[in-house]
Amino acid sequence: MTALAIDVAGLRKSFGARRVVDGLDLKVHEGEICGFLGGNGSGKTTTIRLLCGLLRPDGGGGTCLGLDIIRQAAEIRLQVGYMTQRFSLYGDLTVAENLHFVAKLYDLPDRREAVAAALERTGLGDRADQLAEQLSGGWKQRLSLAACLLHRPRLLLLDEPTAGVDAKARREFWDLIHDMSAEGITVLVSTHYMDEAERCTRVIYLAGGKLIVQGTAEEVVRDAGLTVFEGTGANIEAASRALRSTPGIETAAIFGNTLRAVGSDREHLSAALESRNNAFGVAWREVPARLDDVFIHLLREKEAEA
């Protein structure tokens, strides 16, 4: 087992009366790609900011890269690359000018070499003289990643790095993440895309600022214990509307020409489908659950508790 890049326990953070992070324990091993999942307001961004010393916890503590997150926050920031949700570089500077500016902030002695290496690694060499505001969403994300890599961080904290970019750009961005992981860089990345979560070494699900489940994508799906049936037929739209309010069925959603019905109790789900089947004539077959089924299931559970 490798050493821990992140090892924190009991983290708490409130803003006014609202508890955003509530007794969170988190361990991430060196070289791991750890997917951070959770609904909006689950505490993902606040946790990331606590880890890199941009926020001070109200309680709890621990280490990031072996450094205390409270007493050594400034030292942590020199070894971490943090990519925010929103593009935060200067639109009226070129790609290269932005990177040189960031390199000056880190007071890098080999600034030219560091910028050249970051441009090459992220495929931005041909766009070095282009204004940042003229880049597409996918290229802006690459520029943000290049800025994170300038000081050769040991840990990357990526907060929804591919939100709003197309599928090709997302895949290429994730290829970069895996290349860096192969070189020993640890990555903690928050995402709402389930195909991205499946590319992570391990996924962690937060709700209400607490860790709810963790493990590989396969383990999380298996341990959720969900049953899923997929239906086909001419009346799946009408069946979907009726099944959403049927006891025993958690979700009923159409994907292309099929209807997926999900439940946490196989017997109740089967009975519910059978009771409605005469009216709609849908042909059902059991299929494996997916990570997005689990994600929706956990969101519904949290909403029910609230």
Report percent pLDDT > 70 for the chain: 99
Q: What is the arithmetic mean of pLDDT over 93-106?
A: 97
pLDDT at 306 over 70: no
- The residue extents of the domains of the chain are 4-221, 227-288
Burial of residue 183, with CB atoms counted within 10 A of its CB: 0-12 exposed, 13-18 middle, 19 or more buried: exposed
Q: Cα(4)–Cα(64) distance, rounded to whole angstroms? A: 8
**pTM for the complete prediction?**
0.91
Q: What is the arithmetic mean of pLDDT over 163-184?
A: 91
pLDDT score at 229:
96
pLDDT at 304 over 90: no
Task: For the chain, give the mean pLDDT.
Answer: 93
pLDDT at 302 over 90: no
Residue 143 and residue 132 in contact, taking contact as beta carbons nearer than 8 Å: yes
pLDDT score at 191:
92
User: Per residue in 118-149, pLDDT tens?
Assistant: 999 999 999 999 999 999 999 999 999 999 99
User: Per residue in 182-191, pLDDT tens?
Assistant: 999 999 999 9
3.40.50.720, 3.40.50.300, 3.40.50.2300, 3.40.30.10: CATH of 4-221 = 3.40.50.300
Residue 230 and residue 243 in contact, taking contact as beta carbons nearer than 8 Å: no
User: Per residue in 250-267, pLDDT tens?
Assistant: 999 999 999 999 999 999
pLDDT score at 156:
97
4-221 against 227-288: fold identical: no
pLDDT score at 1:
56
pLDDT score at 65:
96
Q: What is the arithmetic mean of pLDDT over 264-283?
A: 87
3.30.70.920, 3.40.50.300, 3.30.1360.170, 3.30.710.10: CATH of 227-288 = 3.30.70.920
pLDDT at 303 over 80: no
